[in-house]
Chain A
Amino acid sequence: DVKVTQSSRYLVKRTGEKVFLECVQDMDHENMFWYRQDPGLGLRLIYFSYDVKMKEKGDIPEGYSVSREKKERFSLILESASTNQTSMYLCASRGSAGTGGEQFFGPGTRLTVL
Chain B
Amino acid sequence: AQSVTQLDSQVPVFEEAPVELRCNYSSSVSVYLFWYVQYPNQGLQLLLKYLSGSTLVKGINGFEAEFNKSQTSFHLRKPSVHISDTAEYFCAVSDHHQAGTALIFGKGTTLSVSS
Does any Cβ of A come within 8 Å of B56's Cβ? Answer: no
Interface of B is mostly: loop
A99 x B99 contact (CB < 8 A):
yes
B100 x A41 contact (CB < 8 A):
no
Does any Cβ of A come within 8 Å of B7's Cβ? Answer: no
Interface size, chain A (Cβ < 8 Å)? 31
Does any Cβ of A come within 8 Å of B34's Cβ? Answer: yes
> What residues of chain A have their CB less than 8 Å away from a CB belonging to chain B?
4, 9, 30-31, 33, 40-43, 45, 48, 50, 58, 90, 92, 94-108, 110
Given A106-B43, A107-B42, decide whether A45 and B90 contact each other with a Cβ distance below 8 A: no
B99 x A43 contact (CB < 8 A):
no
Does any Cβ of A come within 8 Å of B102's Cβ? Answer: yes
